[in-house]
Structure 1
Amino acid sequence: MDCRPIALAVAVTALLAATPLSAARPDARILDAATAARPAQLALLEKVVNIDSGTGDAAGAAKVMAVLIPELKAIGATIETVSAEAPGLGDNVVARLTGKGKGRILIIGHVDTVFPAGTVAERPFRTDGARAYGPGVSDEKGGVVQAVTALRLLHDLRETNYASIVLLIETSEETGSPGTRKLIDTLVRQADVELNVEPGDAPDAVTVWRKGSATIRLTVHGRAAHAGVAPQDGRNAAAELIHQIGTLDRFPRSGEGLTANLTTLRAGDRVNVIPDLATADINVRVRTADQFDGILSAFQAAAQQTIVPDTKVDVSTTPSFPPLPNNQATDRLAAQAQAIYADLGLALTTAGNGGASESALAAAAGTPALDGLGPVGGGFHSVREYLELSSVTPRLYLFAKLLIQLGANPPAK
C-alpha cells in the first residue's frame, strides 16, 4: 500500500486547521474520525477492487459481499441477502441499522462493474500518490466502501439520532438494475431520502441531474448463401444493418441533451457465408422521457425502408433507468451538502451527466434523492478509471455529516 495518501490526509487536516477563525469550522469529531479511518478505508477498497465482479459474475459478487458483510455485522447491522430478480445475477445485500431519531435514510451502491473476469489479474488496484486505479475503483466500489466506512464512523461516534439507515448493495446497476427493480421500489418508498454513492464528477461535484437510458436493438434477418459459389442467392443481413445504422447520423453522439451511440455490432460467423442475421445495439440517453419516443420512431420508420431485397428489420427496446430531472428536492439536498463542505473550506459544485442511476427511481417514487456522493473519479468504464485520493477524506466527512443531519431532520416527501 502506498503510504503517501496517509501523508496527504495529514496535510489536508493541517490545512483545515489553518482556516481563519472567522471562517466556518468543521465538526472536529467527525473530521478526526474521517481522517483516522483513511488507512482502513483504502485497505478495504483495495480488497474489493481486487475481486472481479462484472455484472453477471455471481461468484465474484459473492466474494465482494463476503468482504463487506463482516464489516457491516461488526457495527450491529442486520444483514438480508436478497436473490436477484433476474437469472444469472449475483445476490444483493440489504444492511439495516436502527437508531433513536426520525430520519429514514436509504443508501444505494453497486459492486458490479463493466469489466470481465481476468481484469484484476491484468491491472489490479494500485495508487500513484494522487490517484487510485483498478476495475471499478470509482464506479462504484469506492463509493460502496465509503458508505460502509461512514456507517462504522457513526457507530464508533455513537451517533444514533436516526430512525433507520438502510444500505442496499446491488449487483446489476450497470445493466439497469434488472436484479433489484422491485426491491428498489420497495426500499425507496419506505425511505425519507435516498443517497447514492456513485462517484463525484471532477473537479468536485455532486450530481443533481442524470439522463435516462435505454437500448434500441436492430435485428436484420436475411438469407445465407455460399459467398463464393452463389452470393447472388443470399440476402446480406450485415449490409442491410449498415444501412439501418445510418439513421444514427440524425442524432447527436455527445452533449448534455439526447445522445445515441452504436455500442455492439454482430454479423456472421464464417468468412465464406453471406450472413443471414445481424444485430446492433444503440445506446440512447435522454434528458426527458419523451425524447426516447422520437428516436425510436426514427428507427422504426427506417426499418420499413430496406435497401437489400427480401431482408426484414426488427426494432426492439430494453429500458434501463428513467431520467433524474432537475428538481427542488434534489437542489435542497445539494445545498445542504454544499454547506457541510464549506465547513472544510472547500467548494462543492453541482453537475449532471449521461450516466443513469438508481436515484432516478427514487425521485420518480417521490423520495428526495442526491447522487454523486462517492469520492471523485473519472475514466469510467475504461482502463483509465481512477479515484482522486485527495477527495477520500473530505467526501467521507461530507457523507457522515449528511447522514447525521438527515437522520435528525429528514426532508419532507
Structure 2
Amino acid sequence: MSRRIALGAALVVALAAQAHAAPATVPKDDRVWAAAEKARPDQLKLLEQLVNIDSGTGDVEGARRALDVLVPRFRALGLTTELVPAEQPGHADNLVARIAGLGRGRILMIAHIDTVFGPGTAAKRPFRADATRAYGPGVGDEKGGVVEGLYALQILREVGFTDFKEIVFLIETSEERGSPGTRALIAKLVAEADVELNLEPGDAPDKLTVWRKGSATYHIEVKGRAAHAGVAPQEGRNAAVELINQLKKADVFPKSGEGLTANLTLMQAGARNNIIPEDASAAINVRVRKKEDFAKVEQTLRRNAQTTSVPDTKVNVRLEPSFPPLPNNPATEALADRAAAIYAGLGLQIGRGGNGGASESALAADAGVPALDGLGPVGGGFHSEAEYIELKTVTPRLYLLAKLIMDLGRDPPARFKP
C-alpha cells in the first residue's frame, strides 16, 4: 500500500470515529433548565420532608411513611406504582414506578430510601440548610437522589417528552445492607432495561462514579464453653480469647486504599461479667476492585479457622454477600461521555472517579447492562452526623439527569459482555 493510500485510509477511520464520538458539548436546553430552576424550591421542600422521616434499613414503618409521601406524587405524574414485598423478612416494601413512552430506550433508575441511621435521629438533628449546604440523616445517601429522580420525571412531563419506550424507577429499602430484600427484583428489572442510572450522590468537587468496589462481610463465629469466672474458670473455654486470636491472624490485609481492604466492624462476646464467654463473633467488612480478591480473604479466614489457640473451641466462617465491584468499562465511560457533553452545555465540567461504597450499578454492569452511578447531588460526610449535599449542584444535577434520560430514550446503548 502506498503512503498516500495509507494516509487516506487512516483519515477515513479517524473521521468515522469522530462521527460516532460523543459531541464535546450538547447545547443548553433552555426549557429544561427553566423547569429545573422552577422546581428547586419544591424539590428542597420535599427533600426536607423525607429527611425528617427516619427510615433506617429495617425500619418498616419509617420506610412506609416515606413511600406514602412519594407514591401520590408519582401517580400525579402519570406513573403506575407497585409496592413489591421485600424478599427477606424485616425489610419494607420496595416501590416500582413505571411510565410508558413512544420511543426506543428502556431506562431503569435506581435509588434507595433506607439510611444507616436509627429511630429518633431525624428528631435529634433534622434537615437544615445554610447558604451552601443542606444537612440531615440521609440527605445525600440517598434521599437527595430519590427526590432528584422524581423531579426529573416531572420535567419530562412539563416539556412533553415521550421519546422513550419505558422509564422504570425503583426505590428500594435495603441497599445499606446489600439489598437483601430486593435482589431478585433488581435482576428482573435490569433484564428488562437498556441502561441503568443510579442516583447515589456525586463525589466532590463534582464527579460521576464510574467504578465502585464490591463489598462482602465475613462473620467469624467462635463456640467455646461457659463456666463460672470465679469458681471454676478452668472448666471454661473462652470464645472471646479465641476470637481475638483469630482476628490477630486475619490482620494481614490493608485497611485503606483503592484496592482490597478488610476492616473489623463488629464484635460481640459473652452474656454476663461473671461467666467465661461461650460465644463470640466478629464481622470483617471487605471491599475489592476485583472479584477474585474476595476469595483471598475467605481462604485466609477459613484456613485460620482450622487451627485454634484455645483448646476445645470451634470456629466457623460465614459469608454475608453484598455487591460485586463495578469495574472500569467502556460502556460506563460512554455514558459518562454523554453526561459530560450535557454538562458542558451549562458551561460546567463534570469529573469521573470511584470509591469503596458499593451500589446496585454493579449488579447491572455484571449483567451486561450499561450503568452510570453518582448522578445525585454532590455531597459528603455520608454515614455520619456531618452528612451534607452541596446546594449549588442541586439544579445542574437535576438538569443533567433529565437531559440524560432524554438522550438515552432517543438513543439507548447496546448491552455488552462483562
For the aligned pair, the TM-score class normalised by the smaller chain equals over 0.9
Structure 1 residue 247: Cα displacement: 3.0
What do you get for the CA RMSD once the two structures are aligned?
1.0
Which aligned pairs between 1:7-406 and structure 2 lie closer than 5 A? 25-406=27-408
Is the 2:103–2:409 contact (alpha carbons within 8 Å) kept by the matching residues of 1? yes
Structure 1 residue 344: Cα displacement: 1.0
Structure 1 residue 354: Cα displacement: 0.8
The CA distance in 2 between the partners of 1:28 and 1:316, in whole Å, is 55
Is the 2:210–2:332 contact (alpha carbons within 8 Å) kept by the matching residues of 1? yes
Corresponding residue SS for 1:117? coil
Corresponding residue SS for 2:262? strand
Unaligned runs of 5+ in 2: 1-24
The CA distance in 1 between the partners of 2:175 and 2:26, in whole Å, is 38
Question: Where does structure 1 differ by over 4 angstroms across 4 or more consecutive aligned residues?
Answer: none
The CA distance in 2 between the partners of 1:390 and 1:168, in whole Å, is 26
Unaligned runs of 5+ in 1: 1-22
Corresponding residue SS for 1:76? coil
The answer for the alignment partner of 1:16 in structure 2 is: none
Name the amino acid aligned to 1:381: H
Corresponding residue SS for 2:251? helix
Tell me how many residue pairs correspond in the alignment. 391
Per the normalisation by structure 2, the TM-score is 0.92
Name the amino acid aligned to 1:375: P
Structure 1 residue 259: Cα displacement: 0.4
Corresponding residue SS for 1:317? strand
The CA distance in 1 between the partners of 2:143 and 2:118, in whole Å, is 16
Per-residue deviation, residues 357-396 of structure 1 (Å, max 9, x unmatched): 1011111111110000000011111111111111101100
Corresponding residue SS for 1:250? coil
The CA distance in 2 between the partners of 1:230 and 1:276, in whole Å, is 14
The CA distance in 2 between the partners of 1:252 and 1:309, in whole Å, is 30
The CA distance in 2 between the partners of 1:143 and 1:186, in whole Å, is 22
The answer for the alignment partner of 1:14 in structure 2 is: none
The answer for the alignment partner of 2:13 in structure 1 is: none
Structure 1 residue 345: Cα displacement: 1.1
Is the 1:24–1:345 contact (alpha carbons within 8 Å) kept by the matching residues of 2? no
Name the amino acid aligned to 2:120: G
Structure 1 residue 25: Cα displacement: 4.5
Name the amino acid aligned to 1:34: A
Per-residue deviation, residues 47-66 of structure 1 (Å, max 9, x unmatched): 11100101111111110000
Name the amino acid aligned to 1:319: P
The CA distance in 1 between the partners of 2:408 and 2:367, in whole Å, is 19
The CA distance in 2 between the partners of 1:349 and 1:309, in whole Å, is 55
The answer for the alignment partner of 1:408 in structure 2 is: 410
The CA distance in 2 between the partners of 1:161 and 1:259, in whole Å, is 44
The CA distance in 1 between the partners of 2:27 and 2:322, in whole Å, is 42
Is the 2:26–2:341 contact (alpha carbons within 8 Å) kept by the matching residues of 1? no
Taking a change above 3 Å as real, the CA distance of residues 24 and 331 of structure 1, as seen in their structure-2 partners, is closer
Is the 1:260–1:282 contact (alpha carbons within 8 Å) kept by the matching residues of 2? yes
Structure 1 residue 231: Cα displacement: 1.3
Name the amino acid aligned to 1:276: E
Structure 1 residue 186: Cα displacement: 0.8
The CA distance in 1 between the partners of 2:296 and 2:178, in whole Å, is 21
Name the amino acid aligned to 1:292: F
Is the 2:223–2:279 contact (alpha carbons within 8 Å) kept by the matching residues of 1? yes
Name the amino acid aligned to 1:190: E
Structure 1 residue 303: Cα displacement: 1.1
**Structure of higher CA gyration radius:** 2
Per the normalisation by structure 1, the TM-score is 0.93
Structure 1 residue 305: Cα displacement: 2.1
Per-residue deviation, residues 122-159 of structure 1 (Å, max 9, x unmatched): 11111122111111110000001000011011111111
Is the 2:199–2:375 contact (alpha carbons within 8 Å) kept by the matching residues of 1? yes
Structure 1 residue 121: Cα displacement: 1.1
Structure 1 residue 227: Cα displacement: 1.1
Taking a change above 3 Å as real, the CA distance of residues 95 and 211 of structure 1, as seen in their structure-2 partners, is same
Per-residue deviation, residues 315-367 of structure 1 (Å, max 9, x unmatched): 11011011111111000000110111111111101101111110111111111
Name the amino acid aligned to 2:203: D
Name the amino acid aligned to 2:307: Q
Identity of aligned residues (%): 63
Structure 1 residue 311: Cα displacement: 1.0
Is the 1:248–1:260 contact (alpha carbons within 8 Å) kept by the matching residues of 2? no
The CA distance in 2 between the partners of 1:188 and 1:295, in whole Å, is 29
